[in-house]
Amino acid sequence: MTTRLASRSSLVAVALAATLALAACSPEEEPAEDGTSASGTAAATDTGLDVEAYQEIVDNGAVADDAVVEANEWASAVREAGVLSVGGTETSTLFSLVDPTDGTARGFDAGLSQLLSRYILGEVGTELSQVTVDTREDLLENNSVDTILATYSITPERAARVAFAGPYYSSQSAILVAADNENIASVEDLAGTTVATQAASTGVTVIEEFAPEAEVLALPDHEQALAAVRQGRADAYVIDQTLLLNAVVGSEDVKIVGEPFGPADNYGIGLPPDSDAVEFVNTWLQQVIDDGTWEELWQVTIGNRTGVDEAPAPPTVGETIS
């Protein structure tokens, strides 16, 4: 497998407890997308990932017929380049975390990008460039990357600038509490409690709508909201479940309780606008879902590491605007 961590020259210029199941990440919060806080700072070598099982999934990924690739301008360009240039993250524990021992990114998003590269190239070959919330659309518009896979929420504003395949993953809001908290097991139990969330995120409005009798403790970022629960200053923390899943990996002092709730947040595969990539990538994604690869990858990268035995149903490919 060839996975390079590099930037194209143009980039520089552009500068679940018992019911834990998958789950709204607001466009304005999205720390998981820039890889700065959603992932935490867990060591890449101690994340509980079964690397051998992960690699087997990637290495067994489907390969497209030559005619299929040659019929698509975007895929043909990737094949000619010999590598799939991916905008992603390097520090998201569950979705794309670079192992410093070998320089390889692994996780749900990373796995999908590697499977896509194998589908086009006949072998795994990706070039990962760290993206942020502020740079993604620019990078796709100027063709600095071939695609972006980075818990990239599909919004009408973004869809007006770039193309989206997918969605490949859907999230909602969830509840995190201290591990020894037996009083909160559902959103209904938040009444009368202090609930932390990130200021300027949809977490505030979600709490106000679904737990109107809770006191909202709006804090600047994910780390401070998580700390508030650990320190007992908040009874619970409500935010996108993707962030919370990352938080519970390797942590024994917090847990996720109850069912996900609130509006769905669909993650898409960002693609250059005005290209013919969407249909090609959607065809590949549907195949990955139909042949069970999506579920296997989810189980190894997320389910097994968060104590969830049953993968969620994947979202419907093609429904890109929620």
**Tens digits of per-residue pLDDT, 78-117?**
999 999 999 998 988 899 999 999 999 999 999 999 999 9
Instruction: With a cut of 50, say whether residue 223 has pLDDT above it.
Output: yes
DSSP string, 55-67: HHHHHT-----HH
Confidence of residue 275 (pLDDT cuts 50, 70, 90): very high
Kindly state the helix (H) or strand (E) to which residue 127 belongs, with its residue range. strand 125-130
Instruction: With a cut of 50, say whether residue 245 has pLDDT above it.
Output: yes
Mean pLDDT on 31-47? 41
Mean pLDDT on 51-64? 97
Mean pLDDT on 59-67? 97
Confidence of residue 46 (pLDDT cuts 50, 70, 90): low
Q: Which two tokens stand for residue 14?
A: 């552009």
Residues in contact with 196: Cβ distance below 8 Å, sequence separation at least 6, in sequence order: 217, 218, 219, 224, 225, 228, 229, 233, 234, 236, 237, 238
pLDDT digits 0-9 by tens, 293-319: 999 999 999 999 988 888 888 999 998
The residue with greater pLDDT, 201 or 225, is 225
Instruction: With a cut of 50, say whether residue 11 has pLDDT above it.
Output: no
Q: How far apart are the first and last CA of the chain?
A: 35
The residue with greater pLDDT, 176 or 26, is 176
Burial of 123 (0-12, 13-18, 19+ CB in 10 A): middle
**Structural contact between residues 111 and 82, judged by C-beta atoms closer than 8 angstroms:** no
Confidence of residue 28 (pLDDT cuts 50, 70, 90): very low
What does the alpha-carbon distance between residue 242 and residue 203 come to, in Å, rounded to a whole number?
13
Mean pLDDT on 66-88? 98
Q: What confidence score (pLDDT) does residue 268 get?
A: 96
What does the alpha-carbon distance between residue 211 and residue 187 come to, in Å, rounded to a whole number?
7
Buried b / exposed e over 38-69, threshold 16 CB at 10 Å, is bbbebebeebebeeeebbebbeebeebeeeeb
Radius of gyration of the chain (CA): 19
The amino acid at 171: S
pLDDT digits 0-9 by tens, 189-216: 999 999 999 886 778 999 999 999 999 9
pLDDT digits 0-9 by tens, 148-200: 999 898 989 999 999 999 999 999 999 999 999 999 999 999 999 999 998 86
The 8-class DSSP code of residue 322 comes to -
Q: What confidence score (pLDDT) does residue 3 get?
A: 52
Instruction: With a cut of 60, say whether residue 288 has pLDDT above it.
Output: yes
pTM of the full structure? 0.80
Q: What confidence score (pLDDT) does residue 92 get?
A: 86
Tell me the CA distances in angstroms from 59 to 13, 100, 114, 119, one per residue in order.
34, 21, 9, 10
The 8-class DSSP code of residue 315 comes to P
**Structural contact between residues 266 and 319, judged by C-beta atoms closer than 8 angstroms:** yes
Give the residue from 310, 313, 201, 319 showing the smallest Cα distance to 262. 201
Collapse the DSSP code of 145 into the 3-class scheme (helix H, G, I; strand E, B; otherwise coil) and give the result.
coil
**Structural contact between residues 28 and 271, judged by C-beta atoms closer than 8 angstroms:** no
For the chain, give the mean pLDDT: 86
Instruction: With a cut of 60, say whether residue 18 has pLDDT above it.
Output: no
Q: Which two tokens stand for residue 21?
A: 């199941």
Confidence of residue 58 (pLDDT cuts 50, 70, 90): very high
What does the alpha-carbon distance between residue 44 and residue 110 come to, in Å, rounded to a whole number?
14
The 8-class DSSP code of residue 274 comes to T
